């Protein structure tokens, strides 16, 4: 369609205005379709699979980030037939432009879980319930996430290994981080290839195009204030301010479905079913032999696996499927009438990077004289669709800082700071940003009044190693019902106290020459319930934090990895579920502890390593 539309260009320019208009519409439609060409992805083989009675060597449940990688790597063995089951469909075109990130949260390809009510958290969120986004598409959360690609640090993975997980220390997992990646020649020339591969399926790049220079402003302020500057965030140093790499290339999101599945969509041993929900793992004794699924037409069918069933459905759904299949805490399963196959602490150990989003700088920028108009938005869409340029090519959250305000002697971070900017008068930009946290109307109005007076540089503080632990529980024995999510944020009060300690770092930037140029002032959200508390006190910050609580979308750890003699664990170091055979979990839920950075890159690493573990266990030389 695209070539056809563009082929009319020269003749249309010599025709009537109506013809030119028609050509323009055709071109824009073709460009939009190019963002979500379903031919890029493997076809759903539902009819062939269901009516042939075929069996598979491996059935992978979940076509997200981990599942996409596993499907690609396992089908490298030509004798293995692999079935990938995904509840969602192909990514929608609006998920491709990086600049639409905030708009996709809560959209049609987001499960958008609401956590269970808890006293003292999420108090300025609608219904006082934080929302946790998770991607519902082939490619999973890589289709809607912020695209930040950070590994974490040596302490994270050496800690995993020290908990009885041989093979998972930093030096042993680093090759699997690199295996996925294809960094630009320019990046490799500047930083080397120790932390970045060159032949992997996934392209990662700097965000490049930015609407303003606020990242440079904050970096210069940090440098002037004496903070370390990280030339490469994935590197040997872990503390400082720096720009991150993102899973994007040439202004397009690089989802795991696009990077890992699209190039191998025609492999004869790769089978895919979309729009289908896995309901239960099938066992013969304690050996996993298949999965029961419900199709889009509500028909229930069984698919068989001769070698292994692999769960890659993530932190919420992988424990749900285990528990529905009789693997979980026995008392909880008995309450719901589910026969217990193996008593394991499934759903326990839930961790997340809780975020305090109520922080910002007000700045004066005399060059901004009016709000972006609807015409500006249309122009941006046209620029992106037709010329691959403009503000939709990027996402202005590539500037981060890793700090340790708790232990100044440590080389490892305890808090991550994330920055973004909203220009004065840009009410739609502000609304889009606050929508991602689902803030209530009162806070939205307060901040809207603020944006009409000043430009804003928002700063979010995210706790890297929370002490609080949550839990996932079944709501019922019905697989169609969502799980209960108890985040338990701040149940260990030291968590909010450590977040509070990020404030001095943010304030330290104010007395720099460059921020004084913009007349910058530091603020916390003006939360009505906190107004009568003395500012800059511990009581005040606790109030603000408990109201402006959100998630960094990094929930993990609900199927903890560790040895079988550790009663806290669900899978072993080879990701096999304790007490049964032919069943693995390979996704973010197996992390023993959350990493000190965004968890998407570690999730990909787990899948890359998991694929090699499977190959080794079935006699394939790697």
Phi and psi, residue 243, nearest 5°: -95, 135
Overall average pLDDT of the 458-473 stretch: 98
The model's pLDDT over 528-537, given as tens digits with 9 standing for 90+, comes to: 999 999 999 9
How far is residue 423's CA from residue 440's CA, in Å, rounded to a whole number?
21
pLDDT reported for residue 207: 83
Q: What angle do CA 331, 311, 247 make, to 5 degrees?
A: 125
pLDDT band (50, 70, 90) for residue 496: very high
How far is residue 411's CA from residue 402's CA, in Å, rounded to a whole number?
10
DSSP per-residue codes, 483-548? PEEE--TTSSTHHHHHHHTTHHHHHTTTTSHHHHHTT-EEEE---GGGTTSPTTSHHHHHHHHHHS
Residue 574 lies in a domain: no
Residue 359 lies in a domain: yes
Residue 442 lies in a domain: yes
Least confident of 115-119, 131-135, 197-201, 395-399: 395-399
pLDDT reported for residue 22: 57
Cα dihedral: 184, 157, 610, 191 (round 10): 10
In the predicted structure, residue 159 carries a pLDDT above the cut 70: yes
Residue 561 lies in a domain: no
In the predicted structure, residue 584 carries a pLDDT above the cut 80: yes
Overall average pLDDT of the 273-277 stretch: 96
pLDDT > 70: percent of the chain? 93
Q: How many domains does the chain have?
A: 1
The model's pLDDT over 51-70, given as tens digits with 9 standing for 90+, comes to: 778 899 999 999 999 999 99
Residue 232 lies in a domain: yes
In the predicted structure, residue 34 carries a pLDDT above the cut 70: no
Query: CATH code at 122?
Result: 3.30.560.10
The model's pLDDT over 511-564, given as tens digits with 9 standing for 90+, comes to: 999 999 999 999 999 999 999 999 999 999 999 999 999 999 999 999 999 999
Residue 393 lies in a domain: yes
In the chain the first and final C-alpha atoms are separated, in Å, by 42
Residue 109 lies in a domain: yes
The model's pLDDT over 323-339, given as tens digits with 9 standing for 90+, comes to: 999 999 999 999 999 99
Residue 406 lies in a domain: yes
Name residues whose C-beta falls within 8 Å of residue 253's C-beta, 6 or more positions apart in sequence: 95, 96, 97, 98, 142, 143, 147, 247
How far is residue 58's CA from residue 504's CA, in Å, rounded to a whole number?
52
Question: Active-site positions?
Answer: 554
Q: Are strands 549-551 and 56-61 parallel, antiparallel or unpaired?
A: unpaired
The model's pLDDT over 289-309, given as tens digits with 9 standing for 90+, comes to: 999 999 988 999 999 999 999
Predicted TM-score (pTM) of the model is: 0.94
In the predicted structure, residue 343 carries a pLDDT above the cut 90: yes
pLDDT reported for residue 380: 84
Do the beta carbons of residue 293 and residue 104 sit within 8 Å?
A: no
In the predicted structure, residue 368 carries a pLDDT above the cut 90: no
**Tokens 């809207």 identify what position?**
448
Cα dihedral: 488, 489, 494, 499 (round 10): 170
> How many CB atoms lie under 10 A from the CB of residue 261?
27
pLDDT reported for residue 147: 95
250: buried, middle or exposed (CB in 10 Å: 19+, 13-18, 0-12)?
exposed
In the predicted structure, residue 366 carries a pLDDT above the cut 50: yes
Q: How high does pLDDT run on average in the chain?
A: 92
In the predicted structure, residue 14 carries a pLDDT above the cut 50: no
pLDDT reported for residue 50: 75
How far is residue 70's CA from residue 60's CA, in Å, rounded to a whole number?
8
Closest CA to 500 of 446, 451, 549, 456: 549
How far is residue 353's CA from residue 582's CA, in Å, rounded to a whole number?
32
Q: What H or E segment, with its residue span, contains residue 57?
A: strand 56-61
Domain residue limits at 220: 93-128+203-255+352-469+488-551
pLDDT reported for residue 210: 60
How far is residue 263's CA from residue 209's CA, in Å, rounded to a whole number?
27
């Amino acid at each position: 369609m695209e070539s056809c539309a563009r082929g009319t260009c020269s003749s249309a320019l010599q025709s009537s205005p109506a013809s030119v208009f028609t050509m323009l519409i055709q071109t824009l439609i073709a460009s939009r379709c190019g963002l979500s060409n379903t031919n890029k992805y493997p076809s759903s083989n539902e009819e062939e699979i269901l009516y042939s009675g075929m069996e598979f060597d491996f059935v992978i449940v979940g076509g997200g980030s981990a599942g996409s990688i596993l499907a690609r790597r396992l089908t490298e063995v030509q004798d293995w037939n692999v079935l990938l089951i995904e509840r969602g469909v192909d990514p929608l075109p609006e998920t491709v432009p990086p600049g639409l990130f905030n708009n996709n949260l809560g959209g049609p390809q987001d499960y958008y879980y609401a956590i269970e009510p808890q006293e003292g958290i999420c108090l300025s969120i609608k219904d006082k319930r934080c929302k946790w986004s998770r991607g519902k598409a082939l490619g999973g959360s890589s289709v809607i996430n912020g695209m930040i690609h950070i590994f974490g640090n040596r302490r994270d993975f050496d800690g995993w290994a020290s908990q009885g997980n041989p093979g998972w220390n930093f030096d042993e997992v680093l090759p699997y981080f690199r295996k996925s990646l294809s960094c630009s020649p320019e990046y490799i020339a500047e930083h080397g290839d120790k932390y970045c591969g060159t032949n992997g399926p996934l392209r990662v790049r700097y965000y490049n195009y930015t609407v303003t220079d606020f990242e440079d402003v904050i970096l210069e302020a940090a440098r002037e204030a004496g903070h370390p500057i990280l030339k490469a965030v994935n590197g040997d140093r872990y503390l400082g301010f720096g720009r991150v790499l993102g899973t994007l290339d040439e202004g397009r999101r690089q989802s795991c479905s696009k990077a890992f599945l699209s190039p191998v969509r025609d492999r004869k041993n790769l089978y895919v079913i979309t729009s289908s929900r896995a309901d239960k793992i099938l066992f013969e004794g304690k050996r996993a032999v298949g999965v029961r699924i419900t199709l889009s037409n509500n028909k229930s069918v069984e698919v068989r696996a001769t070698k292994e069933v692999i769960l890659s459905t993530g932190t919420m759904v992988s424990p749900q499927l285990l528990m529905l299949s009789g693997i979980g805490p026995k008392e909880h399963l008995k309450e719901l009438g589910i026969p217990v196959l193996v008593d394991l602490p499934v759903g326990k150990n839930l961790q997340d990077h809780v975020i305090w989003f109520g922080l910002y700088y007000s700045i004066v920028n005399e060059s901004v004289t009016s709000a972006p108009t609807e015409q500006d938005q249309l122009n941006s869409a046209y620029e992106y669709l037709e010329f691959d340029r403009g503000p939709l090519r990027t996402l202005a959250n590539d500037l981060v800082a890793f700090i340790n305000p708790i232990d100044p002697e440590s080389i490892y971070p305890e808090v991550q700071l994330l920055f973004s900017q909203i220009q004065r008068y840009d009410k739609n930009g502000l609304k889009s940003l606050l929508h991602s946290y689902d803030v209530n109307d009162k806070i939205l109005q307060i901040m809207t009044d603020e944006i009409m007076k000043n430009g804003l540089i928002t700063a979010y503080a995210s706790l890297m190693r929370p002490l609080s632990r949550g839990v996932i529980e079944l709501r019922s024995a019905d697989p169609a019902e969502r799980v209960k999510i108890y985040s338990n944020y701040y149940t260990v009060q030291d968590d909010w106290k450590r977040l509070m300690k990020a404030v001095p770092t943010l304030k330290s930037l104010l007395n720099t020459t460059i921020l004084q140029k913009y007349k910058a002032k530091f603020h916390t959200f003006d939360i009505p319930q906190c107004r009568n508390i003395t500012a800059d006190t511990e009581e005040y910050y606790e109030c603000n934090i408990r109201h402006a609580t959100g998630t960094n979308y990094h929930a993990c750890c609900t199927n903890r990895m560790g040895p079988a003699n550790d009663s806290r664990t669900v899978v072993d170091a080879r990701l096999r579920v304790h007490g049964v055979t032919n069943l693995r979990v390979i996704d973010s839920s197996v992390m023993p502890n959350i990493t000190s950075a965004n968890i998407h890159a570690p999730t990909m690493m787990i899948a890359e390593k998991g694929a090699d573990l499977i190959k080794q266990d079935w006699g394939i030389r790697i």
